[in-house]
Chain A
Amino acid sequence: MSTTFETVANIIAETCDIPRENITPESHAIDDLGIDSLDFLDIAFAIDKAFGIKLPLEQWTQEVNEGKATTEQYFVLKNLCARIDELIAAKTA
């Protein structure tokens, strides 16, 4: 079974045409991979579908804009995958 990171990395590689080997758990989706907000909608759509969840993008954006969170908390891939795992766990709880 694929790990969350493998699934997310493959989604990013396919959606944004980024070489898979360039995508690591430490990659920052925006700063390192250069993914913009429109491309991230496509990624969010694919992640939502793949995991049967709904990434709370609006809430994350608001928290970042208000200084309550950093982009690293949500957009470094290992952190993003941890959030996804939390959402999956909450769904099945």
Chain B
Amino acid sequence: MRLEYFQMIDKVIELDLDARTLRTANTVPTESPIFEGHFPGHPLLPGVLLFEIMAQSCGMLLLRLHNYDRMAFLASVDKGKLRTFVTPGQVIEVFARMEHDGSGFARLKAEGRVEGKLVCNADITLKTMPFPAPELRGYLLSTAERICMPMGDGPTPDGTERPGKLTHV
């Protein structure tokens, strides 16, 4: 996680295209200027960044489902809950699930856990549109590579090949 660059996702753990879910692992850095102010003597990952981690996980799932032909922008966060403190060095595992892929928007559910304990959850609405700049698509593709997003075809859960689909990694 590089907070100053808004690179919130470290690694994709699991992608299931049939279930339209994504699981990511994200380690809070032990040091960051953010912790100097938030808060002195009691460093906490800001709650808005927990929402950002969930939103980015949802966005990366949506982009992958659309084969990176559209960009996703955060439109709204509903039923957002910040359930406990998240501190430097902790690993947040985020589970994102596509609930509805609409026309020009998508609604997803996301939750974050630390050592199995629920720390945050929200309903995320993303607005989707063609990439406004080609370099943005390039950046997202390089991000997908950095976080080890599976890009090829894979086997079904029962092990049989299924062209054009990808499940677990």
Does A57 contact B103, Cβ atoms closer than 8 Å? yes
Is B100 an interface residue, CB under 8 A from the partner?
yes
Do residues B100 and A49 form an inter-chain contact, with CB atoms below 8 A?
Answer: yes
Q: Which residue of B lies closest to A55 (CB)?
A: B103
Q: Does A61 contact B (CB under 8 A)?
A: yes
A30 → B minimal CB distance (Å): 16
| B97 located at the interface, meaning its Cβ lies under 8 Å from any Cβ of chain A in the complex | no
Residues in B neighbouring A58, C-beta threshold 8 A: 103-104
- A residues 43-82 near B (Cβ < 8 Å) are 44-45, 48-49, 54-59, 61
A51 to chain B, nearest CB (A): 12
Q: List residues of chain A with CB within 8 A of the CB of B104.
A: 41, 57-58, 61
User: For the complex, would chain B's binding face be called helix, strand, loop or mixed by DSSP majority?
Assistant: strand
Q: Is the CB of A38 within 8 A of B75?
A: yes
A42 contacts chain B at the CB level, 8 A cutoff: yes
The number of residues on chain B lying at the interface, defined by a beta carbon within 8 Å of a beta carbon of chain A, is 10
Q: How far is the CA of A49 from the CA of B102 in the complex (A)?
A: 10
Q: How far is the CA of A61 from the CA of B104 in the complex (A)?
A: 10
B107 an interface residue at 8 Å Cβ cutoff?
A: yes
Residues from chain B with Cβ under 8 Å of A42 in the complex:
76, 125
Bits for A20-47, please: 1 = Cβ < 8 Å to B, else 0. 0000000000000000001001101100
Could you name 11 residue pairs across A and B whose Cβ atoms are closer than 8 Å? A41-B102, A41-B104, A41-B125, A41-B127, A42-B125, A45-B107, A48-B100, A49-B100, A54-B102, A55-B103, A57-B105
Kindly list 9 other residue pairs between chains A and B, CB separation below 8 angstroms, not including A48-B102, A58-B104: A41-B104, A41-B105, A42-B76, A44-B102, A44-B103, A45-B107, A54-B102, A54-B103, A56-B103
